[in-house]
Amino acid sequence: MIDLYTWTTPNGRKVSILLEELGVPYEVHPIHIGEGDQHGPDFLAISPNNKIPAIVDRDNGLTLMESGAIMIYLADKYGRFLPSETMARARAMEWLMWQMGGLGPILGQVHHFVHFNRGKSAYAEDRYGTEARRLYAVLDRRLEGRDYIVDDYSIVDMACWPWISRHEWQAIDLTAYPNVRAWYRRIAEREAVQRGYHVPKKVNDIPPG
């Protein structure tokens, strides 16, 4: 049994989507980050960086923060959605780190400056908006002739997809990135993704691509 500490954000949804895909039992603990739940001492003991998502694996007592680390752990534990062969695994790690170090952090800034605080900083809107469009173009090139980011559907797709699902907040028109759009829609059709998206609660329908 996995305890999942999460909220209705892209980083949180990565892990709930993976848990739904794995079909393993898990218990959800909502951490309302808008109300400061992430700063409580109980949560700090599990997530030393005060951010969701985090898990506790009741099988062995492991506590884990950082969505990428959690996804690798769960994929390894259950032997699914991450290749084990060295070269294929290296390629999957390459794109997972691209999401963790580039796509997620940049799109997070776009949400702040373009969606929530438009007009406050033209510099930040331009800087992060330009970088976001560059990253979408990188992903579009990677998906040329492919159904998924690495060979088979994997934690790499599950890590990137929730960020792309916020394309409206990012003022991104997916029709400008046809390979991303087709991939986005392909993944949105998966029942596990539809369930995982609405954890810990439903706030909106999955945006159409």
Ligand X SMILES: N[C@@H](CCC(=O)N[C@@H](CS)C(=O)NCC(=O)O)C(=O)O
Task: Write out the residues near ligand X by the rule CB under 6 A.
Answer: 9-11, 33, 38, 50-53, 66-68
CB of 137 to ligand X, least distance (A): 23
CB of 8 to ligand X, least distance (A): 9
Query: Residue 68 or residue 196: which is nearer to ligand X going by CB?
Result: 68
Query: Residue 114 or residue 181: which is nearer to ligand X going by CB?
Result: 114
Count of Cβ atoms closer than 10 Å to residue 201 Cβ: 9
CB of 19 to ligand X, least distance (A): 15
Nearest to 193 by CA among 30, 17, 7, 11: 17
> What distance in Å separates the CA atoms of residue 6 and residue 31, rounded to the nearest whole number?
6
Query: Residue 112 or residue 186: which is nearer to ligand X going by CB?
Result: 112
CB of 34 to ligand X, least distance (A): 9
The residue type found at 163 is W
CB of 106 to ligand X, least distance (A): 13
Query: Residue 52 or residue 187: which is nearer to ligand X going by CB?
Result: 52
CB of 144 to ligand X, least distance (A): 27
State the chain's maximal CA–CA distance in angstroms.
49
Query: Residue 11 or residue 154: which is nearer to ligand X going by CB?
Result: 11
Query: Residue 11 or residue 16: which is nearer to ligand X going by CB?
Result: 11
